Structure 1
Amino acid sequence: MARSRLLILAGAVIASPAAAQTITVTPLVDVRLRHEHVDQDGIAANADATTIRIRSGVQASTGHWSATVEAQGNLAIVGDYYDGLNGTASRPLIADPQNVALYLAQVQYRTPALAITAGRQRIALDDERFVGNAPFRQNAQTYDAVRVEWIGVPNLKADVTYAWDVRTIWGIDGVGTRQQGIGGDNVFANIGYRTPIGTVTGFAYLVDQDEVLVQGYRLSSQTYGARFAGTRPIGKAKLAYQASYARQSDYHRNPIDYAADYYLADIGLDLNGPKLGAGYEVLGASSGTALTSFQTPLSSLFKFQGWVDKFLTTPADGIRDVYGSAGYGWKAIGALQAVSLQAVYHRFESDRAVRHYGNEIDLLASARVGRTTASVRYADYDADRFGNDTRKLWLQLDWTI
């Protein structure tokens, strides 16, 4: 009831004094057409999903205030796949179920020093390793929350969110372990200080997956850590770097007593065309039993540890990911803009009782023409002691106004 009153009050405030001012209305349209093909050893039939995702809405703003409402729908044009909710797993999983839902419904007050956002909103913190929007999936992840961002001191930013519901990628048919929304008293606190060589961030993420059907509360965790990220010019080139450490343990109703560590070191070099990168990420293990390793259930998971998505839930023995990347980018080639080629190699091992899980190669080509971006992705996971060999191909068009 208190949450509802808060949103009603925020709406009343925007509607009163702001009514006498000029109101700017901006339409929002975002369309994505994608074909995804999956060939996975151990499952006789392949999966093919051709889906079209449409988001449309409107943003009204006046003075320091704005209100945004956006709906989304996902339609399967070709539905030869297991979407995680409907049918049986006789084909590989592609986690894009059909859906019609409210995507955003938020009110925001913003000044140069302060932003307060209330309602259903996108939240993506730092590199989205711990809290993200899952933008790659057709039904992205949003939060019913109140968020406060404060920049009242030069170079210092405080960002604190209370979220009482996580709206998942599973959409309106979500059920059981894959629910439409997962309630809980989540708190995301993030304080960053910008220095001449990068930003130092301290964070605390209290994730409350307060639903018994979602792993019996065992994804509830408290994570505390620090991150450093920055860029430096080197002649005409640019060096990017980041490092992070965090410690995670059980929280709220989680019946398991555990603690696990997280480490990340990453470096990238942009040579004004050629691009090189390398990194090492560890999601540590605790006792070696299920869900006692470092978990990130609110992450934008597709961005990390390979596009085949073998490690959405961290294995009981944790994971070590050594990766390297190479690519090339062009500002324009004829009518094509922002042309990019990328290749990434991952070697995966367990953190506890070190053994080789497998290797993965990810390839990406993308280009933009006007408001349309076209991309082709391919991922090949070669299993050793974890999972099955899997190959995925994506053909995608994105259009937005």
Structure 2
Amino acid sequence: MKKNTIHLLVAAASSLLCAAPSISAKTFTESMQQGSVIKVNFRTRYEDVTEDVLNAQGNKSGEKEANAWTTRSRLSYQSGAWNGFGFTAEMDNVSEMTNEVDYRTAGNDPLNTNKAIIADPIGTEVNQGFISYTTFNNQIKYGRQRLILDNARFIGNVGWRQNEQTYDGVSLTNKAIRYTNFTYAYIKNVNRVFGEANAGLGDLNMNSHVLNASYTGFDAGKLIGYAYLLDVENPIAQFGLTSDTFGARWQGTVGETFTYNLEYAAQQDAGAKKAFDADYLLAEGTYTVSRYSIGLGYEVLGSDNGAYGFATPLATLHAFNGWADKFLATPKDGLEDKYVNLGVTFAGAQALVSYHKYDADFGSADYGDEIDLSISKKVGAVVWTAKYAQYAMGDATTKITDTDKFWVMADWNF
């Protein structure tokens, strides 16, 4: 569904609602006025990227640099309820503050080919636009919407980027059974972070089904099961994207100081050839005492004998495998990520230090390591954040090059 289709959908829905008898129209109008919420958000960010360039022998031959000073302006509207029906609309504009785009927005961007990638395209788009129907135990949404399931490892909104990832389709959330939450979504199109202007990467047309069920009736934690059945229409992009993934996740707690997550998933090609299969594994735990926390984790995106690496194409990828974003696509040899997180809260600020060690799941390739630093503090209505990521290359044969990234960001709401 293209973004201009949303305008037609909204117009048609509004016409149907307003075509009700006069007394109903008055009730509808009152609900739009009295129960509605309008929000304005601005997010300004400076990002600087430096990454090495290698020659044919695998030696450093230069660097690619890029920087972006962008502001995302967001206007959101949520109506009140009318007989259970509601409407949500959200517009985003991303502008380059210096009026000069000095970076690439995607790998296939023909401009600034000597620049590093910063995936924040400028432009104005409909971020969300959907009709909802809500009862005591159910909510249905039809149109363009945000989807975030669990920790966003498989289905997410890529909220770090200025142009958010949203989904065109229909979703249903049901809570009829005690302690149970069931979510189903049919996805017709994914509006990716690269923007509508990017004909090759901006939209991902598909006919996909997403199912996720959780149960919170255990004292010790939360059990989640899911099936993500992705069917991408573009045959060129199908390999690794058209897949069936089935998995289970346990989010456990021990007392008030220790939390842990265990997860396993199996993925296979959803096409007729059944060309690949791979497994996913996660084990992580966090101990918190007073203002301090320490976390250890081990995540494996498995390999099918070096021919295919477990893929999570709809995830909020920036949140996983390091902030330098060197593993947005899983290598064919898979990826083992061993990491440690150290956090502290002081003077109202939250600081985090993370270290990642990367290796291949199949074979013995060293994929390097990374250190990430961040600090965030709210001052009045503004949340200030500074982040730094430094990735160091492992084996030269992997051709995953040294990269430094730095961000300063201000985010405020009205």
State TM-score, norm by structure 1: 0.90
Tell me if structure 1 keeps the 8 A contact 2:268–2:274. Answer: no
Partner of 1:198: 221
Please tell me whether residue 27 in structure 1 is matched to residue 38 in structure 2.
yes
Q: CA deviation at 1:287?
A: 3.1
Structure 1 residue identity aligned to 2:198: G
- Deviations 1:23-42 (CA, angstroms, capped at 9, x unpaired): 11211212110000011111
- Equivalent position to 2:406, from 393, 397, 400: 393
Tell me if structure 2 keeps the 8 A contact 1:120–1:142. Answer: yes
- Deviations 1:211-262 (CA, angstroms, capped at 9, x unpaired): 134x35542111001011133433xxx3221111000001147x66000000
- Equivalent position to 1:219, from 219, 224, 241: 241
**Identical positions, percent:** 32
Structure 1 residue identity aligned to 2:388: Y
**Count of matched residue pairs:** 385
- Deviations 1:151-171 (CA, angstroms, capped at 9, x unpaired): 101111111100111111111
Please tell me whether residue 60 in structure 1 is matched to residue 69 in structure 2.
no
CA distance in 1, matches of 2:25, 2:304: 54
Partner of 2:89: 69
State TM-score, norm by structure 2: 0.88
CA distance in 2, matches of 1:198, 1:355: 36
Partner of 1:48: 67
Q: CA deviation at 1:13?
A: 7.0
- Deviations 1:269-306 (CA, angstroms, capped at 9, x unpaired): 221310111110000000313xx210011000000000
Report the 3-state secondary structure (helix = DSSP H, G, I; strand = E; otherwise coil) of the residue aligned with 1:344: strand
Alignment of 1:1-12 (within 5 A): none
- Equivalent position to 1:294, from 310, 317, 321: 310
How has the CA–CA distance of structure 1 residues 106 and 371 changed in structure 2, closer, same or farther, with 3 Å as cutoff?
same
- Deviations 1:369-394 (CA, angstroms, capped at 9, x unpaired): 12210000000001112301111000
- Equivalent position to 2:195, from 171, 196, 199: 171
Tell me if structure 2 keeps the 8 A contact 1:321–1:348. Answer: yes
CA distance in 1, matches of 2:178, 2:36: 32
Q: Which runs of 5+ in 2 are unaligned?
A: 54-61
How has the CA–CA distance of structure 1 residues 53 and 9 changed in structure 2, closer, same or farther, with 3 Å as cutoff?
closer
Please tell me whether residue 36 in structure 1 is matched to residue 47 in structure 2.
yes
Partner of 1:280: 298
Tell me if structure 1 keeps the 8 A contact 2:352–2:373. Answer: yes
Q: CA deviation at 1:45?
A: 4.1
- Equivalent position to 2:322, from 306, 328, 335: 306
Partner of 1:233: 255
CA distance in 2, matches of 1:321, 1:299: 17
CA distance in 2, matches of 1:58, 1:372: 21
Please tell me whether residue 344 in structure 1 is matched to residue 341 in structure 2.
no
CA distance in 1, matches of 2:150, 2:334: 23
Q: Which runs of 5+ in 1 are unaligned?
A: none
Tell me if structure 2 keeps the 8 A contact 1:96–1:139. Answer: yes
Alignment of 1:146-165 (within 5 A): 146-165=170-189
Tell me if structure 2 keeps the 8 A contact 1:46–1:91. Answer: yes
- Equivalent position to 2:287, from 269, 278, 294: 269
CA distance in 2, matches of 1:355, 1:45: 25
Please tell me whether residue 117 in structure 1 is matched to residue 141 in structure 2.
yes
- Equivalent position to 2:344, from 311, 323, 328: 328
Partner of 1:257: 275
Please tell me whether residue 140 in structure 1 is matched to residue 164 in structure 2.
yes
How has the CA–CA distance of structure 1 residues 9 and 97 changed in structure 2, closer, same or farther, with 3 Å as cutoff?
closer
Partner of 2:56: none
CA-based RMSD of the aligned residues comes to 2.2
CA distance in 2, matches of 1:248, 1:188: 14
Deviates more, 1:18-27 or 1:116-125: 18-27
Tell me if structure 2 keeps the 8 A contact 1:48–1:80. Answer: yes
Tell me if structure 2 keeps the 8 A contact 1:26–1:60. Answer: yes
